[in-house]
Amino acid sequence: MRQRLARTIVGRRFVSLKSDPFGISGLLPETNEMFPPPSLISFDAFGTLYVPKKPIAEQYAEIAHSYGIDLPVETISSRFGKIHAELLERFPNYGKNSSEITSSEDWWKQLVLQVFELDANKSHELCQALVDHFTGPGAYTVFDDVEPALQALKKRGVNMVVLSNSDSRVVAILKNLGLSQYFSNVYVSYELGAEKPNKKFFDAVARKQGQTIDKYERMWHVGDHRDKDFIGAIRAGWNGVLLDRHRASGYFGPQAARQEALISCLLASHAPTHAYDKVIVANNRVVLTSLTQLVELYEF
């Protein structure tokens, strides 16, 4: 079993990590290092497996229009983000354990009420229509790299689950998108009573999967959010994979390119630097630009 070291191996050379465990100073672009087969790979849902077919505000506006409620897309967009954040702060985890919010559906109803500035009597039908729409197959699209990756991992017998900061609607969404066949279970924050990046969330999943702490080093979580998915999983003792499809994390920027050149120098490599797609930040944290690269990480 590969030990958890404070350094990472490239061939026979060692590159020490710096003081920032999540920084780019210790990254190893396009290495050939491989990891033991995972005992579990978990995936974030929204933004990792699927994304809205078109902006949420546009979809809200279209459905509201069919109920005789007209509000500019720009207004919905500006209100939605602000109100969503305020409600999550006031009623965390979609109202779980709140005496004022009776269910996650009630939480979403409050959002719709405030976005459209409706009274409760006028909102019921619109709320239900929006909930139904965003649970069905018409609201989201699956990223192109998702099914090839899931098929390859399933073929190799990998146990895969979904971890989402959401409610049970995610189960229906995955089914309607044709993705539920790949996962043995779906864990949502509303049911677990904790949210990513809280360690309690990851610990609860591990317990439900029958994984003891000594097996955490073969458990991997994949997600597109640096703090909630990547850092959260690592601080919980799991391995983390940051999915950076748009190269926005900084791990593929100019500073990372300079670090790649430095590493090439240190390893006496005269190969020119290039635009790489995968980096190993340390021995339990990896950054990818496509889910199809995931299967390449492991020694199956």
Strand partners of residue 113? none
- Indicate if 257 and 164 belong to the same structural domain: yes
Which of 104, 133, 162 is the last residue in one of the domains? 133
Whether residues 117 and 236 fall in one domain: no
Same domain, 163 and 182: yes
Phi/psi at 128 (5° precision): -65, -40
Tokens 């780019």 belong to 24
One domain, residues 239 and 161: yes
Which pLDDT value is given to residue 52? 97
Same domain as 155, residue 269: yes
Spatial CB neighbours of 93, under 8 Å, sequence gap ≥ 6 = 165, 189, 190, 193, 194, 195
Is residue 173 domain-shared with residue 73, that is, in the same domain? no
Distance in angstroms (rounded) separating the CA atoms of residues 261 and 279: 14
Distances (CA, A) of 10 to 15, 97, 189, 250, 264: 8, 48, 38, 22, 11
Q: What is the mean pLDDT of the chain?
A: 85
Residue 28: count other Cβ atoms within 10 Å of its Cβ.
23
Q: In this structure, is residue 76 part of a structural domain?
A: yes
10-29 pLDDT tens trace: 332 233 333 455 665 555 55
Domain that holds residue 237: 7-49+141-297
pTM, two decimals, is: 0.84
- CATH code: domain of residue 219: 3.40.50.1000
Same domain assignment for residues 161 and 263: yes
Q: Do 207 and 286 lie in a common domain? A: yes
Which residue type occupies 242?
Answer: L
* Antiparallel, parallel or unpaired: β 50-52 and 140-142: antiparallel
d(CA 207, CA 214): 12
Lowest-confidence region among 66-75, 135-144, 264-273, 288-297: 264-273
Q: Is residue 161 part of a domain?
A: yes
Q: Please, what's the b/e burial string for 177-197 (b: 16 or more CB within 10 A of its CB; e: otherwise)? A: bebeebbeebbbbbebebbbb
* Number of separate domains in the chain: 2
Residue with tokens 């959401």: 166
Indicate whether 116 and 150 sit together in one domain.
Answer: no
**206 and 179 belong to one structural domain:** yes
Query: Quick one: 273 and 215 in the same domain?
Result: yes
Overall residue count recorded for the chain in this entry: 300
Please report which confidence band the pLDDT of residue 123 belongs to, taking 50, 70 and 90 as the band edges.
confident
Q: For residues 187 and 162, give the distance between their C-alpha atoms in angstroms, rounded to a whole number.
A: 6
Read off the pLDDT of residues 44-95 as tens digits, 9 standing for 90 and up: 999 999 999 999 999 999 999 999 999 999 999 999 999 999 999 999 999 9
